[in-house]
Amino acid sequence: MSDTRHTKVLIIGSGPAGYTAGVYASRAMLEPILVQGIEPGGQLTTTTEVENYPGFTEVQGPDLMVKMQEHAQAMGCEIIGDIISDLDVSKRPFTAKGDSGTTYTADAVILATGARAKWLGLESEEKFKGFGVSACATCDGFFYRGQEIVVVGGGNTAVEEALFLTNFASKVTLIHRRDELRAERILINRLEKNEKIETLWFNTLEEVTGTDTPLGVEGVVTKNVKTGELTEIPCKGVFIAIGHAPANELVKDTLETHMGGYVVTKPGSTETSVPGVFAAGDLTDHTYRQAVTSAGMGCMAALDAERFLAEQDD
């Protein structure tokens, strides 16, 4: 059954940016509707300990996101489990279509669709996705108890995933294309102290190898970027942790984007190239990409939306 819901402010996304926008827009009496998308709680639901969100020395990512959801709800934000499949920002009120069949119309929209894991784009990676190849250690690490695993990447995610996977794996090989990690020093220190982790520098993943029946990973082939030398590493799990790309599908043809698809916002603001459409969090941010900065931008977006709507009423 299809129905139409109108709201002053439609918030798309339920990560730190979306929920914080929900708190602020509710307290501004804008009665926002927040649509959660396919990943309620966003990226932090795919990790374990978060140690850098102010007020929490340590908190589990999924728990933090439940608290944020409860906070937004307590302030009056209506939270809906739906996925927006189409967004028309060519005229006001803006129109968003939900997979549920509901059409949402809104006087202002806050985009907080975040980012998604990047893949290498190898045929063999695609073949074994879900059968030994993963981009989420917290989701899939448990399947590799006592097994050997490789992790690809050199950022915070790769190092955290490698560390986390030592809880299950007999050995973790971190494969990085350079000889320098871009992860934070505290994580690198932990990595260096962990005897289960070996690091393979200057190597890229060339191929995932395995069996067809049953479909499963048996190893990887890596290539030394300096010498071209190929190395075979036996393993049962391959975790790709090479960063994230902005989830801009709804607006990539209608809003101005830059730097590989990040939505452009005016400096010091969350205003996009379309008046009344605001963007916050990892969708707009190619620099910081943190939970706390996303939450901060969610706050800004709600305040910007409130100001925009007040100006329309004048």
Residue 295 in the binding site for ligand NAP (CB under 6 A):
no
Told to judge if 77 belongs to the known catalytic residues of this protein, a careful annotator would answer no
Task: Give the H/E segment covering residue 72.
Answer: helix 61-75
Active-site annotation holder among 107, 140, 285, 304: 140
Contact (Cβ atoms closer than 8 angstroms) between residue 160 and residue 186: no
Select the binding partner of residue 248 from ligand NAP, ligand FAD, none (C-beta < 5 to 8 A, by kind): none
Contact (Cβ atoms closer than 8 angstroms) between residue 177 and residue 154: yes
- Residues 156-215 touching ligand FAD, rule: CB under 6 A, are 157
Told to judge if 235 belongs to the known catalytic residues of this protein, a careful annotator would answer no
Contacts of 174 (CB under 8 A, 6+ apart): 150, 151, 153, 154, 158, 159, 162, 191, 197, 198, 199, 200
Interface pick for ligand NAP out of 171, 182, 190, 223 (rule CB under 6 A) = 182
- Residues 9-28 touching ligand FAD, rule: CB under 6 A, are 12-18
Contact (Cβ atoms closer than 8 angstroms) between residue 120 and residue 289: no
Interface pick for ligand NAP out of 15, 41, 154, 210 (rule CB under 6 A) = 154
Point out the residue whose Cβ comes nearest to ligand NAP. 155
Which amino acid makes up residue 118? K
Select the binding partner of residue 76 from ligand NAP, ligand FAD, none (C-beta < 5 to 8 A, by kind): none
Pick the closest to residue 150 from 128, 166, 138 (CA basis).
166
Residue 276 in the binding site for ligand NAP (CB under 6 A):
no
Q: d(Cα 253, Cα 248) in Å, to the nearest integer?
A: 9
Residues found near ligand FAD in the complex (CB under 6 A): 12-18, 35-40, 42-44, 46-47, 50, 52, 83-84, 112-115, 157, 247, 250, 281-283, 289-292, 294
Catalytic residues: 136, 139-140
